[in-house]
Amino acid sequence: MSIRSNRIYTVLLFLAAASLNAAGESGFSVLERDANTVLLEWHAPDLSWKRISAGDRLYVLPDMSLEHGDRTPGAPQLPVDLFILEGDARSVVLLDSLATVEHCGPVLPAPTPGPDSSTVTYREGLPYASSGPFPERLFSVKSGRTGGRILTKLQLYPLRYEPQTQSVQRLHYARFRIRTARSL
């Protein structure tokens, strides 16, 4: 790989990290790292709830200084935190976690675009009206190739909404071990 492409890749990684920090501080920190293993710890940022009136309903919107994840119309707007590392993840193990259940009320769903570009509507769609928690899992892992390198993205969902009880499972702490196929 040429020096120019290394510089471009470094700039892209810096911009990705800066965009994460612009959206909010990530709660991830690396505890240990060796050639093929990373031990991560995550601590939740502070949580506050904003009350929002949309249409004829009153909703709440969580504010954790993190990006809101799922933008599927009708899905609840919940925060997500990201950790990106080099290498193809062969295993991701949740070693430890601490969560509580809190009543919150109905969470604001992602808007549905209206018939013209200037209007949106809020309706509770299929994912929102599911019988189980949303999102289904506490975290997801995806690997892909970027600029000739393999990167793994760990997405952590610190709030999981239970529409039937209008409560959230709130993650306060998590520790992960990620094993990769390539050296870091």
Q: What is the pTM of this model?
A: 0.76
Residue 126 has pLDDT above 50, yes or no: no
Q: What is the spatial distance between Cα 82 and Cα 161, in angstroms, rounded to a whole number? A: 19
- Give the pLDDT confidence score for residue 62 in this predicted structure: 92
- Give the pLDDT confidence score for residue 114 in this predicted structure: 63
- Give the pLDDT confidence score for residue 18 in this predicted structure: 39
Q: Provide the residue ranges of all domains of the chain, joining segments of one domain with +.
A: 3-28+43-85+98-171
Domain topology for 3-28+43-85+98-171: Immunoglobulin-like (2.60.40)
Of 81, 101, 10, 86, whose CA–CA distance to 41 is shortest? 81
CA 51 to chain centroid: 22
Instruction: Give the β-pairing of 67-68 and 57-63.
Output: unpaired
Q: What are phi and psi of 173, to 5 degrees?
A: -155, 145
